[in-house]
Amino acid sequence: MVQNESGMFGTSGTGDTSGYGGLVRQAENPGSTQRPYGGYFDQVADDLERAYPDFADAIEKVVVDRGELTLHIKRERLVDVARILRDKLKFEMCMGVSGVHYPTDTNRELHAVYPLLSVTNNQRVRLEVSVPDIDPHIPSLVEVWAGNNWHERETFDMFGIIFDGHPGLTRILMPDDWQGHPQRKDYDLGGIAVEYKGATIPAPSERRSYK
């Protein structure tokens, strides 16, 4: 599936440094990958399937793209799969969680992405969970990988994903009473008035294009 991506990255021929100018490029959203995946990816999939009999029901799809293996997991099975990957397949480290917002991905607008590392086997995989904007709940993985504590708080703060079971899910960057989630694509880019040495900094939409 091909989708439009807005912003300055990957575009050329413009002096717009803010990303506000409606720049558009086309990007391919890869679908499911069929076996063989290549490299150690098949071994990881085989080992996970043997260790977790409900593997087929827990996985929505498997994607191999740009040299990375991503397992798209149903949210209700996330904790089970995470424990198997940690305890059986020796993925000792979760490098955090990143939020992604796809407003046009109906009923799957919010995504959480978890990069995993096996120090023992020198392997990497990613987990990805998708949830609807109207029900942005994903189980917390803090009990599986304690280091995810602050990462889940940041993803909650910036994207509004609610990590059920987190020991203290509060904002970590924005003030507690802040309205909205600043890294969502539907967040207002108008900015807030800021004074710097007596000058007022205009909102991104009002800044000129630098050539």
Q: Domains (ranges, CATH) in the chain? A: 31-147 (3.30.460.80)
Tokens for 159? Answer: 């994207």
Distance CA 113, CA 130 (A): 9
Average pLDDT, the chain: 86
Terminal CA-CA length for the chain = 34
The three-class DSSP label of residue 97 is coil
pTM as predicted: 0.79
pLDDT value at 75 more than 70: yes
**Rounded average pLDDT over 203-210:** 63
Higher pLDDT, 22 or 155: 155
CB 83 within 8 A of CB 141: no
Q: Which long-range contacts (CB under 8 A, 24 or more apart) does 80-87 make?
A: 80/52, 80/54, 81/48, 81/52, 81/127, 82/114, 82/127, 82/141, 82/144, 82/145, 83/144, 84/48, 84/51, 84/52, 85/48, 85/116, 85/125, 85/127, 86/144, 86/145
Residue-level pLDDT at 208: 60
Residue-level pLDDT at 174: 92
Q: pLDDT (tens digit, 9 = 90+) per residue, 142-197?
A: 999 999 999 999 999 999 999 999 999 999 999 998 899 999 998 887 666 655 56
Give the pLDDT band (50/70/90) at residue 64.
very high
The DSSP H or E segment spanning 98 is strand 98-101
The DSSP H or E segment spanning 148 is helix 148-159
